Structure formats: C-alpha cells, structure tokens
C-alpha cells in the first residue's frame, strides 16, 4: 500500500493528462464498449487503460480498468478502516450509463411508483421529505471472483476487487410504501427499472436493466441519493439508486426510474436468463436459481505476493470479511493453505450486519513461502467453503482456497 499523498499526486497528474487525452474523443470512445471476453490469464495485469470520462475523478492508481463499464479495486488498495473511499470503489455497469445531463438537477429526477394502492410519481426532492436512513453495506458484483473459475466463464475477469463497503443514505422502501397506501394485492417482488437509454428497434427486454427482488427485502432496502456522505454520482447510479443490502450489486438498480411491486419477476433478460446459477456449459433454464443473496466471503489484503516482502518473525496478516445477509461472526486464518486454522480478530467499527469488517492476525512466520487463506463464518453459522459453487457464468465465488495468496517471507 503506498502513501496516499503520493498516490493522490500521481492521480492528479494521471487524470489531468487523461482528461486531455479524452477531450479529443468527445467522451464517446467508450460508449459502445462491452465486457471483455474471457481471458486465458485470470490474474490482474497492470493496465494503462485510461479511466472513462464519467469516472475521471477515480483514483486510477488503486484500480484495474477492465473496460469503460468494468473497473476493479486493486486488492492492495483496501485499507483497514472498513469503509471504501469513493474514489477507490469499483464500477460495474451492465450497459453504458445515461448521459451526465441527468445529474444537472438531481432533485428533479422522477421516479414512477407502481403496483401500490395509490400509484404516482415523485421527484427526488419529494422523496427527500418522506424519510431518511442510512445503511453500511457491501456492494459486490455477482461476478466478483470469476477469474478463479477454472472453466473460464465469459464476462469480466474480476479477482477480489468488484466489491467495497459503503454507506448509503436515502428513503427506506417501507417509508415510501406508507406514502402510497401500501403494496398492491398479490405483490411478491420489488421490481426496479434503470434509466439507461434503450436504443430504438431493439426488444427492450434484451437490454433493459430491470431486476426483481423478493418483497421481504423491504425492511432494509432503500432509494439512495447519497453514498459515503456525498451526493450519489452517476458512476454509482445517481441521482437515485435502489439499494438492496445483502444482495449482489445487479439487484441494486442504478438511475432508478420506476419502482413497481409486482406479482411476477421482470421479463427482462437480465432477470430471466442472466444472473442465474446455470450448470457449467449449459444454457440457463427457467428454474435455475436467481443470483440474489451473497454468501459469506473473506480474503487477505496484506501481505500480498506483489507487495513488500515481510521480514521473518511477527507479521500482521489483515483482510476483509463479510457475512452476506447476516453479520460476519467469526474469522479464521490459515498460514499453511488450510491445514491449521487460527482465529483472527475483527478490527474496525462494527457497521452492522451488511457491512464487511477488516480482520487481523499477528503471525509468527519463518522465512520461506506461506499460503495464507481466510474463512469467515456468519451469524447464521454458515462458513465460507473451500470449494466454489460451480456455475456457468461464474457467479458468487466465495471459495477460501481460490482467494488464498502465496507470500514469500525473507
């Protein structure tokens, strides 16, 4: 981990020159870029790809730019503080974000609310007078850890960094429902629709970002307009985003323009066939399980193979641990690839059950190579498994073995 002011100075120079480079391209060069195809080498490689225009303010030195819509936090860039600084937070858009113009007057953004007793639309300014709450939560792409699947699933080859822990502030869905007379009859899902433009002549279901989550997330889900104390930027779904704590990121619909309580799941492809646990090598079937809740997961953040080589003796091993949809309750570290486990200590403030916690273990390490792995157990007693859950598109890899590191000690 490098010193922040050096990082920031380099960032300033990097993004300043990046901005110049982009200026000549009119900001459109990334507009139709797609996720890169599966790569033969799943390890992150140093990349000189510039940040896309809408993410120029990010800390390039802490990130891996896979594409304009897929930007990962470097494993070594996560600190022990618990909250991920916004300029280091990953980005993943399913399609290109709407034009920056939607951020000109955030309070004028309009949300349609349907499937309730009294359907109506609200401006964001109106929503802000109905209630307010905050939640600290892990935001994690469903495909985080995909790079470790041996069958090379298509999609971005995320390692550990399509995840962060942030504080969202906004209107609890349950408060919104009070203002519209409650749910309509037979409602089973909360279905959010993103504000991305749908090109003419295309079946909207094939591209629109519309996701359904079970109605029982209502107690904790919210419509967020702030992240880490800042107005929610376009890069993270501003002006308004549905956030569903405990669920993978795709379920937290960005630029939300419609929130409907529905009896059925969305007909959109992103609901019906993408983001399903399908068998490896097979097309998704209608009854394949939907990717919703995150499983417990942890990984080491220091020391790392490409970081400073620790000296033999006492070495502080640190990492992050999340419980999924319940709190991280116990964290263990192994220094020998999983043969023997040691309970580590949680570090940092307890930010609630949906947040991750950093952890630390002081280890005595002799010179040589050591395989450091970690596994978390959540409050429901579910332990991070050794093996990943195999699935065709490589979702929710939480294998502790896949996330281990081999570190040399001098």
Binding region for a copy of itself (CB under 8 A): 1-6, 8-9, 11-12, 15-16, 19, 54, 56-57, 78-86, 100, 103, 106-107, 125, 128-136, 167, 169, 226-235, 238, 308, 311, 313-316, 318, 347-349, 351-352, 355, 358, 360, 362
Residue with smaller CB distance to a copy of itself, 314 or 340: 314
Return the bridge partners of 169, or none: 134, 226
Residue 192 or 233 having the CB closest to a copy of itself: 233
Smallest gap from residue 234 Cβ to a copy of itself (A): 6
- Residue 404's closest CA among 333, 350, 353? 333
Q: Toward a copy of itself, which CB reaches closer, 285 or 311?
A: 311
Q: How far apart are CA 197 and CA 151, in angstroms?
A: 34
Cβ proximity to a copy of itself: between 20 and 200 the closer is 20
d(CA 230, CA 246): 22
Q: Which CA distances in Å does 297 have to 194, 259, 260?
A: 28, 30, 31
In the complex, what is the shortest distance from the CB of residue 32 to a copy of itself, in angstroms, rounded to a whole number? 21
Proportion of the chain in helix, strand, coil states, percent, rounded to 5:
20, 30, 50
> Closer to a copy of itself at the Cβ: 107 or 343?
107
Report the residue number, 84 or 397, with the smaller CB distance to a copy of itself.
84
What is the smallest separation between the CB atom of 367 and a copy of itself, expressed in angstroms? 16
- Least distance (Å) between residue 30 CB and a copy of itself: 16
DSSP state of 8: H
Residue with tokens 């009070």, as numbered in its chain: 178
H-helix or E-strand containing 19? Answer: helix 4-23
Residue 19 CB, nearest approach to a copy of itself (Å): 7
* Residue labelled with tokens 């080498």: 41
**In the chain, what's the furthest Cα-to-Cα distance?**
68
**Closest approach of Cβ 398 to a copy of itself, in Å?**
22
């Amino acid at each position: 981990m490098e010193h922040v002011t050096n990082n920031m100075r380099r960032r300033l120079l990097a993004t300043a020159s990046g901005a110049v480079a982009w200026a000549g391209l009119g900001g459109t060069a990334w507009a139709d870029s797609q996720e890169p195809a599966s790569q033969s080498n799943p390890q992150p490689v140093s990349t000189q790809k510039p940040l896309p225009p809408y993410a120029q303010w990010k800390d390039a030195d802490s990130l891996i730019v896979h594409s304009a819509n897929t930007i990962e936090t470097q494993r070594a860039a996560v600190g022990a503080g618990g909250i991920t600084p916004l300029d280091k937070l990953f980005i993943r858009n399913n399609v290109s974000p709407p034009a920056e113009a939607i951020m000109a007057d955030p309070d004028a953004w309009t949300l349609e609310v349907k499937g309730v007793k009294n359907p109506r639309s609200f401006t964001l300014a109106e929503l802000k007078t109905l209630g307010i709450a905050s939640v600290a939560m892990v935001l994690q792409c469903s495909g985080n850890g995909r790079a470790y699947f041996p069958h090379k699933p298509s999609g971005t080859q995320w390692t550990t960094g399509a995840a962060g822990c942030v504080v969202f502030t906004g209107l609890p869905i349950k408060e919104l429902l009070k203002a519209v007379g409650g749910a309509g009859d037979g409602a089973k899902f909360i279905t959010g629709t993103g504000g991305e433009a749908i090109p003419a002549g295309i079946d909207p279901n094939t591209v629109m970002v519309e996701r359904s989550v079970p109605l029982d997330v209502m107690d904790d889900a919210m419509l967020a307009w702030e992240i880490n104390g800042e107005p929610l930027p376009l890069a993270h779904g501003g002006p308004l985003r549905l956030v569903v704590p405990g669920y993978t990121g795709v379920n937290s619909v960005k630029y939300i323009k419609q929130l409907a309580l529905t009896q059925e799941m969305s007909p959109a492809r992103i609901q019906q066939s993408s983001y399903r646990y399908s068998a490896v090598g097979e097309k998704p079937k209608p009854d394949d399980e939907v990717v919703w809740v995150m499983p417990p997961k942890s990984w080491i953040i220091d020391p790392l193979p490409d970081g400073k080589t620790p000296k033999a003796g006492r070495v502080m091993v640190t990492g992050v641990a999340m419980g999924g949809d319940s709190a991280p309750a116990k964290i263990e570290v192994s220094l020998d690839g999983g043969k023997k486990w040691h309970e580590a200590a949680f570090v940092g403030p307890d930010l609630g059950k949906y947040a991750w916690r950093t952890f630390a273990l002081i280890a005595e390490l002799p010179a040589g190579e050591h395989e450091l792995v970690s596994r978390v157990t959540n409050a429901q007693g579910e332990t991070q498994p050794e093996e990943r859950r195999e699935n065709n598109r490589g979702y929710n890899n939480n294998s502790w073995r896949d996330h281990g590191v081999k570190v040399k000690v001098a």
